[in-house]
Amino acid sequence: MSLKELANRLQEDFATGLIKAVEWRGELAVTVMRDRLHEVAQFLHNDPAMDFDYIVHVSSVDWPDDEERFEVVYEFYSIRKRHRIRLKTRVPESDCIVDSLTDLWKGADFMEREVYDMMGIRFRNHPDLRRILLPDDYTEGYPLRKDFPLRGKGWRDTFEFLDETAR
Amino acid sequence: MAFEDQRTTVYKLDPAHPGSETLPTLRSEELLLNMGPQHPATHGVLKVILELEGERLVKSTPVLGFLHRGVEKLAEDGTYHQFIPHTDRLDYVCAMYNNFAYCRAVEKLMNITLPDRAEYLRTIVAEVQRIIGHQFWLGTQALDIGAMTVFFYCFRDREILMDWFDELCGARLTTSWYRIGGVERDFTASLLDKLKQFLDYFPPKIDEYVIFLEKNRIWVGRTKGVAIISAEDAVSFGLSGPTLRGSGVDYDLRKAEPYSAYPKCEFSVPLGKNGDTYDRYWIRVQELYESVKIIRQCLEQMQEGPIMADVPSVTLPPKQRVFTNLESMIQQFKLFSQGFDAPPGEIYCGTEAHKGELGFYIVSTGGGKPYRLKIRAPSFIHMGAFDHMSRGYMISDAVTIFGTYDIVMGECDR
């Protein structure tokens, strides 16, 4: 199935949930509404013509100037059909939660935990939503958000260092 | 003398009290055991909380992140060229393949095609890196399980290739030899000679490794039938590389989405049957033979030609010109300090590294720096299946299961 056919098929089945489909550099990226995400993913996973059985990665992008600030990105691949698709959805900062896809792809467990850890997006029905790379008691926020400073929050300057040259 | 032990009194049956024949039941509960983060067999700093029932694993919870350095955040601060040395530090055992995967992703973003010679050079070095990776894996995995001899043999042969890398790019581990749009320098006659010598020397050595392991009853007993994962589960967990192919799933990006010089080479992708540790070992050994085959074919087919794509706005000028020509020097300076102007858009590009699918997802909003760079690290995703694969096995098998993923924490924690 070519990318165009794939997009058309999605368009037919989810006329209301689909926001846009973009093809760039030979890749298809489909943006769906947040409340239809699980439904679309289920269709991609179960439909025999789609057959996306392999989850490649779950990622997130922060767009601080947009109304719906965060973008959750899923990438799926079909090992039998040899095609791939990128599924995206937008989440506002005030209600930072999407449906978890762990019931469809088992690998989504760790990947979604990483997104939660790094970007602070929560996943509904996730079996074990905890921080994964950062310590459990880390309270300084979510490091991959654009408002998280790259060079730390200045607490390093509060330490008093011995001036070796003064002696 | 009527001496009665106190214990005997407690357990003595007394017909007068009908309830007294029930003995006090022993309390049983699961034992919680922390493994790591400083355990030698965890290949770095990995901690796993094991719930044990006797010696059986009931549940295991990996605790990751001891080596988290925020590479993805760092990427947002530097130009595309500046990120190449960071990729060396992901999977520090196999830096070349990380460079390769990253450069391919940026080339896809910039829509650059490479000259033939560059593609061949890349493929050759990538396959040499695959051999190094598999040797390293074979040696340490066997050492973890207790077969020490093969470790020394693997590292002896790995050292030859490490010296070869040293001669190629001046570093053994942190190589940074790949460039966006090509490679840093061409092979010299001495490098070619040494590589050809190695190709003749190496295949009999693989046979040697195999003899050491497969004649070792303990090693075979500890790998056959351990950590079995079905094909369906392996796909659902997103496993890749030999870990996935061990379960018989035919998914190799070198074949599925051919890149570089791979479509011009003939090689086969070995597949396992049972999905156990032994099958994954067998696949890696077979891949050693295949890598030798690929390198041989590349060396035969390779023609003279440029080693860098000619896209002056993106690719670096040749080093000799930088020192003698003013324009080239300015070009080099601008590319490294400001970077090149990437088109807005997003791409994902996966590459079949020796551990599995190493992918880079890059979001660009134009300008010289990536807006967001996500690394799909196979080690991290494989750890997601650890709990599933370890349930019901013995505690000593936990080490075998880490080993079978070929896990490197630098890549897992990023």
Rounded CA-CA distance B243/B251 in Å is: 11
Tell whether A36 lies on the interface with B, counting CB pairs under 8 A: no
Whole-prediction pTM: 0.86
Of the candidates B100, B85, B79, the one whose C-alpha atom is nearest the C-alpha of residue B170 is: B85
Q: Do B372 and A62 touch (CB under 8 A)?
A: yes
* DSSP secondary structure of B73-126: HHHTTS-TGGGHHHHHTTSTT-HHHHHHHHHHHHHHHHT----HHHHHHHHHHH
Task: Please calculate the CA angle A38-A41-A43 and round it to the nearest 5 degrees.
Answer: 110
CB B134 within 8 A of CB B287: yes
Of A24, A79, A134, the CB nearest to B65: A134
Q: Which residues of A touch B348 (CB under 8 A)?
A: 27, 56-57, 75, 84, 86
Of B77, B371, B376, the CB nearest to A150: B77
At residue B8, the pLDDT reads 42
Q: Do A111 and B381 touch (CB under 8 A)?
A: yes
B142: closest CA of chain A, how far (Å)? 28
Average pLDDT for residues B391-395, to the nearest whole number? 86
Does the interface predicted TM-score (ipTM) exceed 0.95? no
User: Residue B5: pLDDT above 50?
Assistant: no
* Closest chain B residue to the Cα of A105, Cα to Cα: B236
At residue B27, the pLDDT reads 65
CB B216 within 8 A of CB B147: yes
Buried b (16+ CB within 10 A) or exposed e, B133-169: bbbbbbbbbbbbbebeebbebbeebbebbeebbeebb
- Round the average pLDDT of chain A to a whole number and report it: 84
C-alpha torsion sign, points A112, A115, A116, A118? positive
All structural domains of chain B, each given as residue ranges with its CATH number in brackets, are 57-413 (1.10.645.10)
Average pLDDT for residues B382-408, to the nearest whole number? 86
At residue A1, the pLDDT reads 64
Rounded CA-CA distance B26/B21 in Å is: 15
Question: If you average pLDDT over each of A38-42, A73-77, B15-19, B92-96, which comes out highest?
Answer: A73-77
Rounded CA-CA distance B235/B201 in Å is: 37
Q: Which of A31, A109, A114 to mutate to test the interface with B (most CBs of B within 10 A)?
A: A114
A103: closest CA of chain B, how far (Å)? 10
Backbone angles phi, psi at A121, to 5 degrees: -90, 130
Written in H, E and C, the secondary structure of B230-282 is: CHHHHHHCCCCCHHHHCCCCCCCHHHHCCCCCHHHCCCCCCCCCCCCHHHHHH
Q: Which residues of B touch A148 (CB under 8 A)?
A: 73
Q: Which of B372, B386, B412 to mutate to test the interface with A (most CBs of A within 10 A)?
A: B372
Backbone angles phi, psi at B59, to 5 degrees: -155, 145
pLDDT band, residue B7 (cuts 50/70/90): very low
Average pLDDT for residues B375-403, to the nearest whole number? 87
Q: Do A132 and B65 touch (CB under 8 A)?
A: yes
Q: Which of A63, A104, A110 to mutate to test the interface with B (most CBs of B within 10 A)?
A: A110
Residue A19's H or E segment, with its range, is strand A18-24
Paired residues of B358 in beta bridges: B351
pLDDT band, residue B93 (cuts 50/70/90): confident
Tell whether A56 lies on the interface with B, counting CB pairs under 8 A: yes
Paired residues of B308 in beta bridges: B182
Bridge pairing between strands A97-99 and A27-32 = unpaired
User: Residue B41: pLDDT above 70?
Assistant: no
- Diameter of chain A measured on Cα atoms: 77
Rounded CA-CA distance B153/B315 in Å is: 40
Rounded CA-CA distance B180/B98 in Å is: 13
pLDDT in tens, B199-246: 999 999 898 888 888 888 888 888 888 888 888 888 989 898 898 988
Tell whether A48 lies on the interface with B, counting CB pairs under 8 A: no
Buried b (16+ CB within 10 A) or exposed e, B247-279: bebebbbbeebebbbbeebebebbbbebbbbbb
Going across the sheet that includes B47-53, the strands are: B31-35, B47-53, B56-63
Task: Please calculate the CA angle B82-B158-B166 and round it to the nearest 5 degrees.
Answer: 45
CB B356 within 8 A of CB B240: yes
A126: alpha, beta or left? (left if phi > 0; alpha if psi -120 to 50): beta
Q: Tokens at residue B134, please?
A: 């598999």
Q: Which residues of A touch B112 (CB under 8 A)?
A: none
User: Residue B11: pLDDT above 70?
Assistant: no
Of A61, A106, A143, the CB nearest to B73: A143
Task: Give the contacts of B153 (CB within 8 A, at least 6 positions apart).
Answer: B139, B205, B208, B209, B212
Of B74, B235, B359, the CB nearest to A57: B359
Tell whether A111 lies on the interface with B, counting CB pairs under 8 A: yes
Q: What residues of B are in the A interface, CB distance below 8 Å?
A: 64-65, 68, 70, 72-74, 76-77, 108-109, 111, 233, 235-239, 249-251, 256, 345-348, 350, 357, 359, 361, 363, 371-372, 374, 376, 380-381, 383-385, 388, 413-414
Tell whether A129 lies on the interface with B, counting CB pairs under 8 A: no
User: Residue B6: pLDDT above 80?
Assistant: no
All structural domains of chain A, each given as residue ranges with its CATH number in brackets, are 3-166 (3.30.460.80)
At residue B19, the pLDDT reads 54
Tell whether A29 lies on the interface with B, counting CB pairs under 8 A: yes
Of A82, A135, A143, the CB nearest to B70: A143
Looking at per-residue pLDDT, the higher value among B37 and A109 belongs to A109
Backbone angles phi, psi at B183, to 5 degrees: -130, 165
At residue B363, the pLDDT reads 92
Q: Do A86 and B371 touch (CB under 8 A)?
A: no
Q: Do B385 and A29 touch (CB under 8 A)?
A: no
Bridge pairing between strands A27-32 and A84-91 = parallel
